[in-house]
Copies of this chain bind each other. A is one copy, B any other.
Amino acid sequence: MARNKDMNQKIKDERREQILSKALMFYAKKGLSATKITDIASALSISQGLIYHYYRSKEEIFTELIGTAFERMNEACRWLESQPMTAKEKIAFAIQELLKLLEKDEDAARYHLLIAQAAASEAIPGEAKAIIEKENTFSYEVIARIITDGQKDGSFKNYDAKELALVFWTSINGLAIYKAVHGEKFKAPDAAILTSMFFQE
């Protein structure tokens, strides 16, 4: 035998991680089709060939990222829903955290942008599209449920809960995309502006 297994596994895991992270950066910025394999490879100072040692194609990387994005998003939603907070606290907390996330330029923010970008484009792999169609509704449903709860105790406005959930997520997505363009210069707005759409005064 040669190098021990753990060592190799570690190298492998790290490379995969590097590739995913850089790819995420480019996909979020330029979209799938405008991102070249060489963008990713040269940003990591590795050969293009190596990327194909880890992934079959550009699209496979993309699809894996979309999968992870929804896993994290949905996990966060499940977590939020299960917290011992009032509906009002949950929504206020979610908006605050999401805005905070957008200000930092980290993977978490890019995942969010990736979803927004991917959702906006028809030019994505079929598998990724399927994931989006399957998973995208969950976060909308969670927010709608929380809002419905809040309407029962009178702390939320009485617009249609689904419409409110729609506006919740599309507003966040709109901000994510704005941030993608203006990058550094972006400063998140006061969370209270957004919460005022939902809360009874």
A interface residues with partner B (beta carbon < 8 Å): 29-35, 113, 116-117, 119-123, 132, 157, 159-160, 163-164, 166-167, 169-175, 177-178, 180-181, 189-190, 192-194, 196-197, 201
CA A201 to CA B196, docked complex, whole Å = 11
CA A180 to CA B124, docked complex, whole Å = 14
The number of times this chain is found in the oligomer is: 2
Pick from B34, B163, B172: contact of A123, CB under 8 Å? B34
User: Please, which residues of chain B bring their CB within 8 A of the CB of A174?
Assistant: 116, 169-175, 177
CA A194 to CA B117, docked complex, whole Å = 23
CA A3 to CA B167, docked complex, whole Å = 55
Across the A-B interface, give the 9 residue pairs with the lowest CB-CB distance, nearest first. A174-B174, A34-B123, A170-B174, A30-B123, A33-B34, A163-B189, A173-B174, A120-B177, A171-B171
CA A193 to CA B120, docked complex, whole Å = 23
Given contacts A120-B116, A122-B29, A123-B31, contact A171 B167 (CB under 8 A): yes
